[in-house]
Amino acid sequence: MKKLYVFMTALLALFAINANAVRILYSENYEAGGVPATWTINGGTGAIASTEASNIFQFSLGTNNGRSAHDFWGPSIFEGTEAEYTLSFELRFDALGDNQFNGEVAVFADEGGSQMINGSLNGKQKDWNPYAVRQNCLFSLVQTNNADKKTEWMVNPTKNAEDALESSKIFIPKTGGNAATWYLVTLTVNTQSREVSYEIFNYDTQQAEVTGVKTMDEGASLYATGLYLMAARRNSVYSIDNMQVYLDIDYANQPVIALTGLKDTERTYMISFLEGETLYVKGTDGQEKKYEYDDVEEGNVFYTTSTSGQLSAWTKAGTMTSEVTTVDVVCEPVVLPNPTNAIVGATEGFAKTYQFTIDNSTVPLQPTIFMDFVFEGEGGQGSFTLDNQTSGAKVEVPGKGTLKITTKALGYASSTSSVVNDIEYEIKNDIDFQHMTGEALKEKGFEAIDDLNTVSMSGENAWTGRMRMYFSIGSDNYPVYGFTESADDYAATVKGYTDAGAKQDTPVYAFLDGRGYADLSTAEPIKRHLLVPSKLTEEAAKTMFAPLVLWNTAAEPAEGAALGDDVPAVKFNEGIGLICTGVKGDAQSGSIAVNNATLGFDGLTDDDLVVITKIDNYGGGSLHPQFAAGTDPATAKAEYKASHIGGVVSTVKGTETFQLYRIDTAINRILVLSAKNSTGIDNMNYNKVVSDHNAPVYNLNGVQVNPNALTKGIYVKQGKKFVVK
């Protein structure tokens, strides 16, 4: 386990520093909580994790394609510095990608911050373009792009004559779960000799595992401006701690004061300073104390008070005195915020699903805030309690009544709010994409195209290649679709898709599109239908699935282009739903040009709720019901197909837009709900904003933009903001 190294003390384990301290130019130790504003996350999640030793920064990819994060502190920290400086950070590989192997950790010296958002990887080493090959890369660890050697990381690799990466030094870190080891990466950069000396130190063994010197090319920048992390596809997790840039000179550094404890009116602060310095602390009671480095643990002083006022600290080293660090201490109970809520599900009547989100970013120490719910149904009907829920919790309210919410966290003052659930809805429109037949689609202008029935994982074939559209039947129901052997043989045959070595008491999956069949050729194909933009009239786009309006074919086309050339085709997977191809114009294949089709409605108001049900991840977002053992497979299949299998549900107001991601996501169902109202004037939409999908779209600078070419960002339509991710 990593020792309690907080703030700048980790470097002292390696260097025999003289009696005076080093000068810190930049540092991050995450003890105050919250991801520093210098970090940019280009996919995945960046968060502060608390351990027994300290707070650390973690970049977690999740089940996504490879994406990056970078920490850019910029060149200004080096103004007036000497010819040599040192950069160090602690690194741990908690998990490596399980599908691709193009991870990287790099220190860059680019003026504008990292420009590497993600990496291209098509299964060959030469296709991976890491930061390492860029001129301004000071140091890089690049994962060997080979499934058999994925634990090997090349140190400062270069490209050979075959355009493949190679390195004379290999670093093999201990990774994964409890085996993951903390390493200290230290770079000493001499801006005159243009040499970067590097060392990777193992905290467990207390030995350096890799050392060397990299000579930078003439013209390359030598001042480190940031750290770059590339997480390889699926489930990579990297941890970083104690990032620092410093000069090895005599200096009295300004101490750091971080709030580390809060309990009612009591506050605890950690004050950190370096070896060679003497710390002076003036408490909120006006008393001043002096601390020598050897008299405290790892250069950290803990100050606890229940008196409001100012807490000040400064250091001395020889004849030098640092600037004073001062914080205002307020010893009053911290009242937790109330959550915000949104309706994310509704049915005819009073029943709804609310999602509650609570923001802890402005709460000191950013505690995990829990919520307790008490629903008091009208006449006592449907009353319930639900305790200890966290942000993002979805609460199903069965009928009319009041839902009370109490927020709580140890040491903080609770708050109470309520939601009155008194609006009754009725179905206004029900667009059932999943159950539209090929005949019905043909009448609307769709044409049948080739079926999907392949094991290929390329593009849209992944709908069948991944084979995630399934139902399951109890495990004693053998044989299943041509399998005549035992449960163990069946599990071995489909190893990787059901639990290997499945026994009689575990479910066995019978898949609609292949897995569970003796031969894929006997599997049920996915029938597809296409409506190309040149045949999609403006009127049809508005009325075909009214009130939903398909992507905006009425937008002004580019000069010389025909109407619809800059929008993707409308595609259907029969039995699944509506899909955006992502390929512009009438072409059925090619490079993805539109990641998200923006959809909206005509004639709805803010009072209307639209429940959107999708299936994402090539079927991974479908509902997977399990039937009782002994159920006839044909019966199970029929029931499965008859039900709505979309498992990704969101709700928007009738005047809002939403996005449909290309290829791997399908709209399963659109349900429009309107509030029952007996007053005629409200039913006339009097003085209300009525949705117009063809209304112009503006960016935040007020510039009108093409709605069919929206990149990631925030836009405004009919006075409402919406986000394209």
Bridge partners (DSSP) of residue 417 are 405
Number of residues assigned to the chain:
725
Q: What percent of the chain has a predicted confidence (pLDDT) above 70?
A: 82
pLDDT, tens digit, 9 for 90 and up, residues 136-145: 999 999 998 7
475 and 570 Cβ atoms separated by less than 8 Å: no
Listed residue (245, 197, 246, 243) closest to 70, CA to CA = 243
Return the pLDDT at 395. Answer: 96
Residue 441 in tokens: 């689609």
Give dist(CA 477, CA 626) in Å, integer: 12
Question: pLDDT band for position 552 (50/70/90)?
Answer: low
Whether residue 506 has pLDDT greater than 50: no
How far the first Cα of the chain sits from its last, in Å, is: 38
Return the pLDDT at 558. Answer: 58
Return the pLDDT at 83. Answer: 83
Return the pLDDT at 8. Answer: 39
Return the pLDDT at 713. Answer: 78
Return the pLDDT at 259. Answer: 93
Return the pLDDT at 5. Answer: 39
pTM of the model: 0.63
204 and 173 Cβ atoms separated by less than 8 Å: no
Return the pLDDT at 213. Answer: 97
Quote the mean pLDDT of the chain. 82
Whether residue 64 has pLDDT greater than 80: no
The DSSP line for 613-667 is EEE-GGGTTB---EEPTT--HHHHHHHHHHS--B-EEEEEETT--EEEEBTT-EE
Bridge partners (DSSP) of residue 480 are 483
Question: pLDDT band for position 311 (50/70/90)?
Answer: very high
Mean pLDDT of 259-284: 94
Give dist(CA 455, CA 509) in Å, integer: 17
**Torsion of Cα atoms, 340 then 346 then 350 then 351, to 10°:** -90
234 and 70 Cβ atoms separated by less than 8 Å: no
Residue 334 in tokens: 């911290």
Return the pLDDT at 586. Answer: 84
Whether residue 467 has pLDDT greater than 90: no
Give dist(CA 227, CA 239) in Å, integer: 13
pLDDT, tens digit, 9 for 90 and up, residues 350-396: 999 999 999 998 999 989 999 999 999 999 999 999 999 999 999 99
Question: pLDDT band for position 43 (50/70/90)?
Answer: confident
67-72 vs 226-231, strand pairing mode? antiparallel
Return the pLDDT at 144. Answer: 85
Residue 618 in tokens: 């090539």
Max alpha carbon distance in the chain (Å)? 89
Angle at 274 between CA 269 and CA 275, to 5 degrees: 130
Whether residue 21 has pLDDT greater than 90: no
Listed residue (453, 463, 460) closest to 583, CA to CA = 460
626-627 vs 470-473, strand pairing mode? parallel
Query: Which SS3 state, helix, strand or coil, does residue 431 take?
Result: strand
133 and 159 Cβ atoms separated by less than 8 Å: yes
Residue 202 in tokens: 């193992």
Question: pLDDT band for position 511 (50/70/90)?
Answer: very low
Whether residue 675 has pLDDT greater than 60: yes
Residue 478 in tokens: 């053998």
Give dist(CA 42, CA 68) in Å, integer: 5
Range of weakest confidence among 270-274, 559-563, 621-625: 559-563
